Amino acid sequence: MTKAGKFCCMLPVPALFPFSPPVDEMDDEKCMELALDQARRALAEGEVPVGAVIARGDEIVARAHNAPLGRKDPSAHAEILAIRRAAEVIGNYRLIGTTLYVTLEPCIMCAGAIIAARIERVVFGAYDPKSGGVVSLYRLFEDGRLNHSVSFTGGVLKEPCAEILSGFFREKRIASAFCPEPQKNGEIPKWS
Ligand code: ZN
C-alpha cells in the first residue's frame, strides 16, 4: 500500500471528525434555547415574547428581547436590539461571520437590518404567516437583486417558540373580552 493510500484509509469519516465541528442541529437548538430565554424575559415585561441571540463561532456576542412597548420604539424588535448590541461588542457595523438566532421568523424590517449588517446566517423558530420576511410573505434573503444573501434555517424548536407567542395572545384575548376599555398600550397584537 502506498503512503497516500494508507493515509486515505486512516481518514476519519466526516461525521466523527472531532475538530472544527460544523454548525449542526444540536448547536442550533442550544442557541435557540438561549433565544427562548430572552423571549421569556419579554413575556415577563408584557412585551410580545420574541427573543434573539447572535453568535460568532462558539461565543454569544449579544442577547436581546422584543421591547417596543417599554422603549416606546416601534423598531425595538429583538433582532434590531441584538444587532445593535453585537455591533457595539464587535466594534464594527458589519457583523461578518455571525449567526442570528431568533424565536420568530424575522419581519421585513429586521430582514433588512440583517442584510445591512451582513449577518451570514439566520436560524429562526416559529414561522410568521402574517409578517414573515424570510419565507412566509417575502423571501428577502434569496433576492438576487440585493448585494448580500443570507443563508437560513427555519423551524428550529418551532413548537416552544410558537407556544410562548400563542399563549401570550390567548391571554390578551381573554383579558380584552373582560375589559372593553382599550388596552393600556393601545393595541392587541394580531399574531396567533
Ligand atoms: Zn422584526
Rounded Cα gap, residues 101 and 119, in angstroms = 11
Q: Which residues contact 168 (CB under 8 A, 6 or more apart)?
A: 43, 48, 49
CA 160 to centroid of ligand 1, rounded, Å? 19
Tell me, in angstroms, the distance from the centre of ligand 1 to residue 109's CA.
5
Ligand 1 center to 17 CA (angstroms) = 37
Q: Could you list which residues have their CB under 5 Å from ion ligand 1?
A: 77, 107, 109-110
Q: Decide: 121 and 151 in contact? Cβ < 8 Å.
A: yes
What's the gap in Å between 106 CA and the centre of ligand 1? 5
pLDDT at 70: 98
Cell of 132: 414573515
Supply the angle between the helices 25-44 and 158-177 in degrees, to the nearest 10: 20
Instruction: Determine the residue type at 190.
Output: K
Other Cβ atoms within 10 Å of 61 Cβ, number: 18
Please give the Cα distance from 48 to 153 (Å, whole number): 22
Does the structure show a pLDDT above 80 at 21? no
Which of 92, 97, 96, 117 minimizes the C-alpha distance to 106?
117
Residue 117 amino acid letter: A
Backbone angles phi, psi at 152, to 5 degrees: -150, 155
pLDDT of residue 26: 55
Cα–Cα dist 165/39, whole Å? 9
| Segment 78-124, tens digit of pLDDT | 999 999 999 999 999 999 999 999 999 999 999 999 999 999 999 99
- For 150, the grid coordinates are 443570507
Ligand 1 centroid from CA 163, angstroms: 18
Give yes or no: 163 in active site.
no
Q: What pTM, to 2 d.p., does this model score?
A: 0.81
Task: Give me ligand 1 centre to Cα 18, in Å.
Answer: 37
Given a contact cutoff of 8 angstroms between Cβ atoms, the answer to whether 70 and 47 are in contact is yes
Which of 74-83, 135-144, 178-187 is least confident?
178-187
Cα of 76 from ligand 1 centre, angstroms = 8
- pLDDT in the model for residue 180: 58
Instruction: Give phi and psi for 148, each to the nearest 5.
Output: -150, 130
Q: What is the largest CA-CA distance in the chain?
A: 84
Query: Choosing from 29, 45, 79, 163, which is the catalytic residue?
Result: 79
